Amino acid sequence: MGKTTGFMEHGRELPRRRPVPVRLRDWKEVYEPFPEESTKLQGARCMDCGIPFCHDGCPLGNLIPEWNDLVYRDDWPEAMERLHATNNFPEFTGRLCPAPCEAACVLGINEDPVTIERIEYEIVERAWSEGWVTPQQPTVHTGSSVAVVGSGPAGLAAAQQLVRAGHLVTVFERAERPGGLLRYGIPEFKMEKAVLDRRLAQMEAEGVTFVCSTSVGGVADAGSPSGDRVIEPGEERGLGSACAPGVQVRSAAEVRAAFDAVVLAGGATLPRDLPVPGRELDGVHYALEYLKPANLVQEGALAASPITAAGKRVVIIGGGDTGADCLGTAHRQGAASVHQFEIMPEPPSDRLADNPWPIWPLILRSSAAHEEGGERLFSVTTTEFVDDGSGAVRALRGHTVEMRTEGGRPVFEVVPGTEFELECELVLLAMGFLGTERRNAVDELGVEVGPRGNVAADREWATNVEGVFVCGDQTRGQSLIVWAIAEGRSCAAAVDRWLMGTTSLPAPIVPGQLAMR
């Protein structure tokens, strides 16, 4: 059980981030290597708690004390086993998860928590480099087939679990390559895409078939010569932004008929808009309209992004992770300046009394991107985009707000006399997502959508349509990658049970399960 007094002897330590000027230039991940010995000592800090709140705080139920201990005791292969016992893709969460486990770490009550996420990263990276991560090819085939629609973390997790259960699994992806937000939302400096590709290769070796540039459901664009570009009726901007050019459309009914079960894992891709005067101006974009081409450039699929921050004054509206992703990307593209707006007031630096351990701390978080520059403004709202005369944005107008709660909901009031104008050439809207798109398999199959815009699932992850299941953001709404993987795993177990009458696949969560609060 690790070292019983480790937490009293060693402090929390993380690898250093590479110097800002260097990392801004090469787009690579920001951390320097961490010596093995340091990782082991960090593992020794784990207290092997009677109630490991970290293990509860993690939606996947990662066996954190177990692998902390194994790392401390230098048993890396076993640590990798234990890590994969609950998590299909620790290399993703090890980079991208905001680590609710660390927020729940018991040591965090009165000390710095254990560097759980980093240890996870070190274990899995070592496992990859040592060649320990091998395909788990199923030895028994059931003859059943499952279509997974969407190849983000939820779809991938479901697919991997289902293929290991012996089913024939096909993953449909409307973009040109699989990965969803992992590939086109997450910037390279947070996760290099090679990390995704090696995992996809493992899945293919296990038997998963990926069918890209294919939308399940949707209407072909009649105006397109090839007739194969998906258009979204309604024409909200940004919809379908993740689509590949030249995407194929397969009718949802046909897919449903061709497979014994269908898993919808298409995400919550409807971005929240900011309907203020000037919204239609050039230079005002949804975050993902901006991030995807940036990633395509890094991937080599695109020579230059049509939307670049180079030399521009940039305003990002939205203080969350997507905003931070835009921030880091903008700096790397050579933005002249970046401002990040957040309508909420600046959070405290420490937990408030009504936000105690072990629940998620509502405190000011600064990511690596924030350290690279830019200015964060809190309690501000935007009221208007100003035309430069040519149909492009020249500036935005806004003012400071004051928040109060009314009936449990926040209400923002203008603080008189705080109006301002900020000059900018690029505005990125990173204000969250509103739920599932509908003009595709959802509407075509008649899948029920709940009041919050997400596909409704029952206790068995089933939609109202026989044999059609759903997981990930498409039912949960926008969330964390770790929830997506947990949903995919759990949904796979339900699909397996539906197909076979019984399952031995693990199911870490039930639909709609929330973090403790």
Partner 1 sequence: MAFGLYDPNYEHDACGVGMVADLHGRPDHDIVDKALTVLERLAHRGASGAEVETGDGAGILVQVPHRFLVGAAEVAGFTLPDAGGYAVGLAFLPIDADDAHKARSLVEQIAGEESLSVLGWRHLPIESEGLGKTALGAMPRIEQLFVAPDGKADTMTVERRAFVLRKRVEHASDDLYFPSLSARTICYKGMLTSEQLREFFPDLRDPDFESGLALVHSRFSTNTFPSWPLAHPYRYLCHNGEINTLAGNRNWMRAREALLETPLIEGDLSRIYPICTPGASDSASFDEVLELLHLGGRSLPHSVLMMIPEAWENHTLMDHERRAFYRYHASLMEPWDGPAAISFTDGTVVGAVLDRNGLRPSRYWVTDDGLVVLASEVGVLDIPPERVVRKGRLQPGRMFLVDTSKGRLVEDEEIKAELAAEHPYDEWLATDQVRLEELPARTMLTPQHGRVVTQQRQFGYTNEELRIIVAPMARAGAEPIGSMGSDTSIAVLSDRSRLLYDYFTQLFAQVTNPPLDAIREELVTSLAATIGPEANLLEARCGSCRQILLPLPVIDRDDLAKLMYVNEHGETPGFKAFAIDGLFDVREAGRAGAPTDVGGEALRRAIDDVRKRVSDAIADGANIIVLSDRNATADWAPIPSLLLTAAIHHHLVREKTRTKVGLVVETGDAREVHHMALLIGFGAAAVNPYLALDSIDDMISEGLLEGVSPRQARRNYIKAACKGVLKVMSKMGISTVASYTGAQVFEAIGLDAGIIDEYFTGTSSRIGGVGLPVLAAEVAERHLRAHEPRPTEQAHRELEVGGEYQWRREGEFHLFNPKTVFKLQHATRSKRYEIFKEYTAAVDDQAEKLGTLRGLLRLKPAEDGPIPLDDVEPISSIMARFSTGAMSYGSISAEAHETLAIAMNRIGGRSNTGEGGEDADRFTPDANGDLRRSAIKQVASGRFGVTGEYLVNADDLQIKISQGAKPGEGGQLPGNKVWPWIAKTRSSTPGVGLISPPPHHDIYSIEDIAQLIHDLKSSNPQARVHVKLVAEVGVGTVAAGVAKAHSDVVLISGHDGGTGAAPLTSLKHAGIPWEIGLAETQQTLLVNGLRDRIVVQVDGQLKTGRDVLIGALLGAEEYGFASAPLVVSGCIMMRVCHLDTCPVGIATQTPALRKKFSGKPEFVETFFEYVAEEVRELLASLGLRSLDEAIGRVDLLDTEAAIGHWKASGLDLSSVLAEPDVPETMGRRQLRLQDHGLEKALDHQFKDACAPALDGRGPVSMELPISNVDRTVGTLLGSEISRRFGAAGLADDTISLTFFGSAGQSFGAFVPRGVTMRLYGDANDYFGKGLSGGRLIVRPPLASPFVAEEQIIAGNVILYGATAGEVFIRGQVGERFCVRNSGATAVVEGVGDHGCEYMTGGLVVVLGPTGRNFAAGMSGGVAYVYDPTRSFGQRVNLELVDVEPLDASDSFRVRSLVERHGVETESAVAARLLEHWDTEVLEFVKVMPRDYRRILEATRLAEAEGRSVDEAVMVAAHG
| Cβ closest to partner 1, residue 56 vs residue 387 | 56
| Cβ closest to partner 1, residue 124 vs residue 249 | 124
Q: Residues 189, 233: contact at Cβ < 8 Å?
A: no
Using only C-alpha atoms, what is the Rg of the chain?
Answer: 23
Amino acid at 477: G
Q: What is the closest distance, in whole angstroms, from the C-beta atom of residue 172 to partner 1 in the complex?
A: 23
| Cβ closest to partner 1, residue 290 vs residue 498 | 498
Q: Residues 12, 52: contact at Cβ < 8 Å?
A: no
Q: Residues 206, 136: contact at Cβ < 8 Å?
A: yes
Q: Helical H runs in 165-315?
A: 181-184, 193-206, 252-258, 287-299
Q: Could you give the CA distance from residue 31 to residue 13 in angstroms, rounded to a whole number? A: 13
Q: Which of 315, 321, 322 is nearest to 376 (CA)?
A: 315
| Cβ closest to partner 1, residue 81 vs residue 125 | 81
Q: What is the closest distance, in whole angstroms, from the C-beta atom of residue 85 to partner 1 in the complex?
A: 5
| Cβ closest to partner 1, residue 112 vs residue 384 | 112
What are the b/e assignments for 273-290, b being 16+ CB within 10 Å? Answer: ebeeebbebebbbbbbbb
Query: In a 10 Å sphere around its CB, with 0-12 CB exposed, 13-18 middle and 19+ buried, how is residue 219 labelled?
Result: middle
3-state helix, strand, coil in the chain (%, to 5): 35, 20, 50
| Cβ closest to partner 1, residue 418 vs residue 513 | 513
Q: What is the phi-psi region of residue 342: left when phi exceeds 0, alpha when psi lies from -120 to 50, beta otherwise?
A: beta
Q: Residues 147, 263: contact at Cβ < 8 Å?
A: yes
Most distant CA pair in the chain, distance: 71
Q: What is the closest distance, in whole angstroms, from the C-beta atom of residue 458 to partner 1 in the complex?
A: 17
Q: What is the closest distance, in whole angstroms, from the C-beta atom of residue 478 to partner 1 in the complex?
A: 24
Q: What is the closest distance, in whole angstroms, from the C-beta atom of residue 391 to partner 1 in the complex?
A: 54
The set of residues, in sequence order, having a beta carbon less than 8 Å from that of 374 and lying 6+ positions away, is 327, 330, 331, 337, 338, 339, 340
Q: What is the closest distance, in whole angstroms, from the C-beta atom of residue 475 to partner 1 in the complex?
A: 21
Q: What is the closest distance, in whole angstroms, from the C-beta atom of residue 47 to partner 1 in the complex?
A: 6
**Helix 76-84 and helix 64-72, axial crossing angle in degrees, nearest 10:** 170
| Cβ closest to partner 1, residue 435 vs residue 508 | 508
| Cβ closest to partner 1, residue 403 vs residue 510 | 510
Q: What is the closest distance, in whole angstroms, from the C-beta atom of residue 211 to partner 1 in the complex?
A: 23
For residue 358, the tally of other CB atoms under 10 A from its CB is: 21
Q: Could you give the CA distance from residue 349 to residue 351 in angstroms, rounded to a whole number? A: 7
Q: Could you give the CA distance from residue 474 to residue 455 in angstroms, rounded to a whole number? A: 6
The pair of three-digit structure tokens given for residue 475, joined into one six-digit string: 């039912």
| Cβ closest to partner 1, residue 253 vs residue 352 | 352
Q: What is the closest distance, in whole angstroms, from the C-beta atom of residue 51 to partner 1 in the complex?
A: 4
Per-residue CA distances from 31 to 22, 23, 348 (Å): 12, 9, 26
Amino acid at 404: R
Residue located via tokens 């087939």: 145
The set of residues, in sequence order, having a beta carbon less than 8 Å from that of 50 and lying 6+ positions away, is none
Q: What is the closest distance, in whole angstroms, from the C-beta atom of residue 86 to partner 1 in the complex?
A: 8
Rounded (5°) CA angle 450-517-8: 145
Q: Could you give the CA distance from residue 59 to residue 509 in angstroms, rounded to a whole number? A: 7
| Cβ closest to partner 1, residue 85 vs residue 219 | 85
| Cβ closest to partner 1, residue 92 vs residue 184 | 92
Q: Could you give the CA distance from residue 509 to residue 278 in angstroms, rounded to a whole number? A: 43
| Cβ closest to partner 1, residue 80 vs residue 430 | 80
| Cβ closest to partner 1, residue 125 vs residue 228 | 125
Q: What is the closest distance, in whole angstroms, from the C-beta atom of residue 108 to partner 1 in the complex?
A: 10
Residue located via tokens 């692998």: 67
Name the residues that contact partner 1, by CB under 8 A. Answer: 1, 4-5, 7-8, 47-53, 55-57, 61, 63, 65-66, 73, 75, 78, 81-82, 84-85, 104, 106-107, 109-111, 136-140, 142, 161, 164-166, 353-354, 356, 358-359, 496, 503-506, 508, 516
